[in-house]
Amino acid sequence: MESEKLLKKGASRLGVALDQQQVEALLLYFGELKKWNRRINLIARDTKDEQILENHFLDSLTLYPLLVNKERIRLLDVGTGAGFPGLVLAAVLPKVSFTLLEPRLKRVSFLRHIARILQLTNVEIVADRIEAFAHEHIDHFNLVTSRAVASPVSFLPMVYPFLEQGATAVIMAAKEERLLEVENMDRSCRLISTQRFVLPYSGADRIVGLVRLH
């Protein structure tokens, strides 16, 4: 199947070796995403299969090397939307604990559907806004990320309450300028590493920055 080849080849180019079970799980997710997208707005309509796989699934997998073979990770994905990157990663990293935060109820229904059909036991899907969620989850996570919030200047202060001492925020960016914003913030956060990727089909740049908090 063409989608399977695109997924396998694209993941391999990113240095991610997926086994057949992982590939089948992501392809099932991909198929359900396309079906649901006809009824509710999950991603841009009329997006080609190659673009969906690259812009959402493979882009999410750029975080895979940070998480694979790691223990006791409790990751919060803020504003996960249709599950990017959190639900994609949960489907291929069963030993990592994921909490996906999404306020839009139709999208939450989709996320819970995918978690159910993939039989994921490592993911919690929360229908709430970040401000309300913060009151009950102080110092609860040691890793946080988001594709929905563009600017670290706005994103990092929002997630401080959730994170334990020495936790890490993962900034997913297309341009270096986003990470340079961190250097102009206060001493409570520090950029500790960056990793660069090129998406395998479009050649688009991706940068993953790790920011140590507190």
Q: How confident is the model at residue 177 (pLDDT cuts 50, 70, 90)?
A: confident
Q: Could you give the CA distance from residue 185 to residue 167 in angstroms, rounded to a whole number?
A: 17
Report the distance separating Cα 146 and Cα 53, nearest Å: 18
Residue of 207, 213, 68, 60 whose CA lies nearest to 141:
213
Distance, in Å, from the CA atom of 98 to the CA atom of 13, rounded to the nearest integer, reads 25
pLDDT tens column, 22-52: 999 999 999 999 999 999 999 999 899 999 9
CATH superfamily of 2-213: Vaccinia Virus protein VP39 (3.40.50.150)
In angstroms, what is the C-alpha Rg of the chain? 16
Work out the pLDDT band at 182, boundaries 50, 70, 90: confident
- Rounded to the nearest 10°, the torsion over CA 133, 135, 141, 142 is 120
Looking at residue 179, its pLDDT comes to 82
Strands 205-213, 189-198: pairing is: antiparallel
Whole-number Å distance between alpha carbons of 85 and 82: 9
Q: Which of 127 and 213 is assigned the larger pLDDT?
A: 127
- Averaged pLDDT for residues 3-27: 97
* DSSP SS3 for 57: helix
